[in-house]
Amino acid sequence: MTQMKMEFDGHSLITPSAIADELVAAKEERFDEHLAIGKGELALLLELARQQFAKGENPTKVIDRVTMSLHEIRHRLQPRVWQELVPFVQEHAVSEYFLQDPLTRWSWDKPRGYSGDARLLDFIYRHDSVTEDVAGASDLGKALFEYTSTAPSSLANWDRRDILAGYVDEVAARTGAGTEVLSVAAGHLREAEYSKAFREKQLKRWVALDQDPISVGTIARDYQGTSVEAIDGSVRAILTGRQHPGTFDLVYASGLYDYLVDKVAIKLTQRCLDMLKPNGTFLFANYSYPILVDGYIETFMNWQLLLRSEADMWKIIHACVDKDEYETGVFFGKNRNIVYGFIKKRS
């Protein structure tokens, strides 16, 4: 995939292979030797887990040990060695057990054709809409779901939902009845259920833009007759200027920058700033390095993310704004698994 295509094709950015192609690391010294050592270590770890599952040992202990070991091994190995070993992990017989977890299964199957869709978020949120799927899982699957849906990364998503709703409420309290909000890559807009301003009908409009017609349809159905306007639209359409949803007091993107390389992230940030009214705020979120489930999600969930540090967030902000015109900041959520950047127009 060429850089031009990556830059403007907002859809293809979210497949694991597209991200892997973009991030392919160079081979370092003694690559073959490190590859053989890594393979041996992973083979032992996975085979032990398979035997423990087969014997009916405590699934929480098994998945926790595998998750922590994959994290540790991923960080210790040369990046290219880890990348080469991902398919080896995915093809191991133990995956049959992990895939009984409905959350892992949904991520692996990718029924909507791409990673990190809004229904995956519903599994993570333990939303009512997934109750039946969880009830239909095996006992082992249910136990694994308890672990994956309450892992620190999942709790960071719950926290993110609260932070987004809090921003909407804060902007509405400051701006009053004319408040207009835009969510870019809105998914199912579950944060709306947590916003007091939304519940109390204090918003003029909350535009929810997403490239997935099923998600747009779900929002339109769930929020019919409210201030929410669901629109079919992509990052690509925003970048190329084909989409003009208006101007807003708050624009935010959550669960999106994790798939955007810096160049695209900077361009999108600039476009989002163009859509701000005076005193408007732009907020963006990204998974960050303390995340412990990185090895598990890249392998058994086949879900590739671009993690960002505090410095990476500042890099995007500094590429977009002049200090005098904007107030800026970077902060972490509760368990530091997600980092946030904000840019507020001074007038």
Ligand X SMILES: C[S@@+](CC[C@H](N)C(=O)[O-])C[C@H]1O[C@@H](n2cnc3c(N)ncnc32)[C@H](O)[C@@H]1O
Residues that bind ligand X (CB under 6 A): 10-11, 14, 116-118, 121, 160, 185-187, 190, 210-212, 215, 234-235, 254-256, 259
Q: Is the CB of 172 or the CB of 256 nearer to ligand X? A: 256
Measured over the CA atoms of residue 158, residue 164, residue 169 and residue 170, the dihedral's sign is: positive
Give min distance, CB of 265 to ligand X, in A: 12
Q: Classify residue 7 by its DSSP letter.
A: H
Q: Which residue is nearest to ligand X (CB)?
A: 187
In Å, what is the CA distance from 233 to each residue of 14, 130, 204, 208?
A: 15, 26, 20, 9
* DSSP sequence for 260-320: --HHHHHHHHHHHHHTEEEEEEEEEEEE-TT-S-HHHHHHTT--------HHHHHHHHHHH
Is the CB of 64 or the CB of 262 nearer to ligand X?
A: 262
Q: What's the closest the beta carbon of residue 212 comes to ligand X, in angstroms?
A: 4
Nearer residue to ligand X within complex by CB, 59 or 245: 245
Q: How far is CA 275 from CA 54, 192, 278, 281, in A?
A: 55, 21, 10, 10
Outline where DSSP puts E strands in 157-247.
180-184, 205-210, 228-232
- CB neighbours of 254 closer than 8 A, spacing ≥ 6? 160, 164, 183, 185, 283, 284, 285
What is the closest distance, in whole angstroms, from the C-beta atom of residue 104 to ligand X in the complex? 16
219 token code pair: 């929002």
Q: Residue 34 or residue 236: which is nearer to ligand X going by CB?
A: 236
We find the least distance from the C-beta atom of residue 183 to ligand X, in angstroms, to be 6
Q: Exposed, middle or buried, 313 (CB in 10 Å: 0-12/13-18/19+)?
A: buried
Q: Which is nearer to ligand X, 35 or 219 (CB)?
A: 219
- Quote the CA–CA distance of 320 and 298 in Å, as a whole number: 31
Q: How far is the CB of 25 from ligand X (least distance, A)?
A: 24
What is the Cα–Cα distance from 212 to 254, expressed in whole angstroms?
A: 15
Q: How far is the CB of 263 from ligand X (least distance, A)?
A: 14
Q: Least Å distance between CB 253 and ligand X?
A: 7
Closer by beta carbon to ligand X, 41 or else 159:
159
CB of 35 or CB of 186, closer to ligand X: 186
